[in-house]
Amino acid sequence: MRKIEDLQEYRDNKDLDHRLSKLSSHGETRIIRNIISQVCWHGPITREWLEKEIEDQEKLEAGKPYTAEDHPIEDMFGSEIQPGDKWFQDSAGRIVLEDNAEDYLIEVAKVEFFREIK
């Protein structure tokens, strides 16, 4: 009979738990919020997805710049992405150039902007 400690799933769980516990409380909170968002908007998460989230947070906390070796050519709105441009990728894989963030919020997140008029 195999012991639970011999199972790969158990070892993976312990490894992810250990890596998560080494993050700051802000980092843990960020990952928890990302998990909630991912599950609510896209369904169950995978171990690979969680590993990537933890890895990204570890890099961020270590002060290592996050760069993409093979950056995308254009964002979801068709804008060309040049080296040095800032862009983000949402949990659904949509690439958005920083200049198009407001369009993303309106079209994808259904955010409504208001302007105060005196």
- What pLDDT does 105 receive? 94
Residue 68, C-beta contacts closer than 8 angstroms, at least 6 positions apart: none
Q: According to the 3-state scheme, what is the secondary structure of the chain?
A: CCCHHHCHHHHHHHHHHHHHHCCCHHHHHHHHHHHHHHHHHHCCCCHHHHHHHHHHHHHHHCCCCCCCCCCCCECCCCCECCCCCCEEECCCCCEEEHHHHHHHHHHCCCCCCCCCCC
- What pLDDT does 110 receive? 92
Mean pLDDT by 10 residues, the chain (118 residues): 83 90 88 86 87 86 67 87 82 90 93 88
